[in-house]
Amino acid sequence: MSSQATEPKQTKTIKIKVLLFASLKDYLNQAEISPEIPANTTIKQLRDQLFSKTNIKTEKLQTLLYAINHNHASLDTVLKDGDEIAFLPMVSGG
């Protein structure tokens, strides 16, 4: 047996770009962020992390639309290094 201490396992991270539109950018006071997140993070996990410390209503979060690299995506989509994720609130008007 080796007497060397084992190094702690490092979690792999990825870098992404998040675009926030309309009222969403007001909740985070910015329109674009580039966080490093753990690999295998889903859109839902990212959304929950980003808005956990805001006063956004759960109902509003449930109506958001998502796009990765300009393509529609669902909450269970796993993010990859370099992805551009857009958080889009549903808008209405007439």
> What's the pLDDT tens digit per position in 80-90?
999 999 999 98
The first and second tokens of residue 4, run together, are: 């060397």
- Tell me how far apart the alpha carbons of residues 64 and 47 are, in angstroms, rounded to a whole number: 10
C-alpha to C-alpha distances, 31 to 13, 22, 72, nearest whole angstrom: 22, 9, 19
pTM of the model: 0.84
pLDDT of 1 = 54
pLDDT of 90 = 85
pLDDT of 6 = 62
pLDDT for residue 3 is more than 60: no
**CATH homologous superfamily of 13-88:** Beta-grasp domain (3.10.20.30)
As a whole number, the mean pLDDT across the chain is: 90
pLDDT of 11 = 82
The count of residues in the chain is 94
